[in-house]
């Protein structure tokens, strides 16, 4: 497998976590979003959307991290990142979607560039914009972890919810969002920091990291 990613991309980060949890070996190809490498003819041929991650596997190109993570769960079922019970699976998917649909898309790199280039926002304004979506999302996640967590976001083992949460906590710090109001999320993060799959996926350890 070849994972086309960028070290600070939240979507790529969650994909690395899931690949590591599944014990799947992969090579990495850096796509530097800051220089516009994602818009190069070579990469757009690979992924017409011009976004990371993209996963090459068995002659296919998989895009969009939610689809990649679901494919991983289907093709590499152990260890399971979704519970066996259908209602529990729905809860985990909802927690993941809270980050993947309602927080992350509103504070990724291209949105930040649009705020700066199209609306004249400075970094303080970009930080405030990001916090506007992170804060209520994390408040909801804090309540859900209180309801369902047993050491991890849902239950006593890592799930897709954790693959989404940990990169979003990293992103929140980049935008200077205070996190003291979310002790349960931070407790999950501390647990993840001791897990090899999460630790190895960290942005600062990637080959293309600054």
Q: What angle do CA 16, 22, 25 make, to 5 degrees?
A: 65
The H or E element containing residue 4 is strand 2-5
- Domain containing 137 equals 86-198
On whether both 90 and 189 belong to a single domain, the answer is: yes
- Please tell me the predicted confidence (pLDDT) of residue 32: 95
- Please tell me the predicted confidence (pLDDT) of residue 160: 98
In this structure, is residue 126 part of a structural domain?
yes
Consecutive sets of 10 residues in the chain, 210 residues long: mean pLDDT of each?
97 98 97 94 95 96 97 97 98 98 94 95 97 98 98 98 98 98 98 98 96
On whether both 94 and 157 belong to a single domain, the answer is: yes
On whether both 67 and 91 belong to a single domain, the answer is: no
In this structure, is residue 210 part of a structural domain?
no
Q: Where among 51, 77, 103 does a domain terminate? A: 77
Rounded to whole angstroms, the Cα distance separating 167 from 76 reads: 22
In this structure, is residue 125 part of a structural domain?
yes
Strand partners, 5: 30
Question: pTM here?
Answer: 0.96
Q: Which residues, at least 6 apart from 182, have a Cβ–Cβ distance to it below 8 Å?
A: 138, 139, 141, 142
Rounded to whole angstroms, the Cα distance separating 50 from 48 reads: 5
- Please tell me the predicted confidence (pLDDT) of residue 185: 98
We report the CATH number of the domain holding residue 62 as 3.40.30.10
In this structure, is residue 203 part of a structural domain?
no
In this structure, is residue 115 part of a structural domain?
yes
- Please tell me the predicted confidence (pLDDT) of residue 128: 97
Rounded to whole angstroms, the Cα distance separating 106 from 137 reads: 12
Q: Where among 77, 94, 123 does a domain terminate? A: 77
Alpha helix stretches (DSSP H) within the chain: 10-22, 41-46, 65-75, 86-102, 109-119, 123-148, 160-174, 183-193, 196-201
We report the CATH number of the domain holding residue 146 as 1.20.1050.10
| Domains held by the chain: number | 2
- Please tell me the predicted confidence (pLDDT) of residue 152: 98
User: 155 near 189, Cβ under 8 Å?
Assistant: no
- Please tell me the predicted confidence (pLDDT) of residue 86: 98
Q: Where among 77, 107, 135 does a domain terminate? A: 77
Rounded to whole angstroms, the Cα distance separating 20 from 202 reads: 11
């Amino acid at each position: 497998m070849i994972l086309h990613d960028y070290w600070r991309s939240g979507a790529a980060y969650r994909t690395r976590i899931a690949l590591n949890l599944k014990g799947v070996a992969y090579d990495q190809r850096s796509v530097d979003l800051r220089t516009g490498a994602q818009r190069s003819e070579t990469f757009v041929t690979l992924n017409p959307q011009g976004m990371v991650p993209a996963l090459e596997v068995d002659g296919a190109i998989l895009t969009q991290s939610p689809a990649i993570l679901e494919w991983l769960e289907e093709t590499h079922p152990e260890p399971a990142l979704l519970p066996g019970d259908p209602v529990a699976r729905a809860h985990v998917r909802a927690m993941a979607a809270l980050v993947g649909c309602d927080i992350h898309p509103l504070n990724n790199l291209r949105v930040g560039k649009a705020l700066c280039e199209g609306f004249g926002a400075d970094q303080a304004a970009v930080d405030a914009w990001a916090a506007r979506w992170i804060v209520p999302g994390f408040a909801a996640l804090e309540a859900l972890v209180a309801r369902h967590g047993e050491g991890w976001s849902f239950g006593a083992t890592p799930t897709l919810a954790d693959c989404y949460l940990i990169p979003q906590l990293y992103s929140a710090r980049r935008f200077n969002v205070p996190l003291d109001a979310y002790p349960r999320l931070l407790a999950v993060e501390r647990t993840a920091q001791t897990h090899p799959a999460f630790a190895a996926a960290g942005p600062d350890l990637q080959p293309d990291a600054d």
